[in-house]
Amino acid sequence: SVRAVLSAYGIEMPLGRVAISEDEIVAAAEELGWPVALKIVSPTISHKTDVGGVALGLRSPWELRVAHRGLLERLSAMGRLVEITGFLVERMVEHHDGAGVETLVGVTRSPDFGHLVAFGLGDVQAEIARDVVFHVNPITDVDAREMMERIRGAVLLRAFRGSPGVDRDALVDDLLRVSRLAADFPQIVALDINPLLALPPGKGVLALDARIQVAA
Q: What is the pLDDT of residues 31-72, one digit of tens each?
A: 999 999 999 999 888 778 888 899 999 999 999 999 999 999
CA separation, residue 13 to residues 23, 116, 181, 192 (Å): 24, 23, 16, 13
pLDDT at residue 94, as a whole number: 63
- E-assigned strands of the chain? 16-19, 36-41, 54-58, 86-91, 101-110, 114-121, 132-136, 188-198, 205-207, 210-214
pTM of the model: 0.83
Q: In which band, very low, low, confident or very high, does the pLDDT at 100 lie, cut at 50, 70 and 90?
A: confident
Q: In which band, very low, low, confident or very high, does the pLDDT at 207 lie, cut at 50, 70 and 90?
A: very high
Mean pLDDT of 75-82: 94
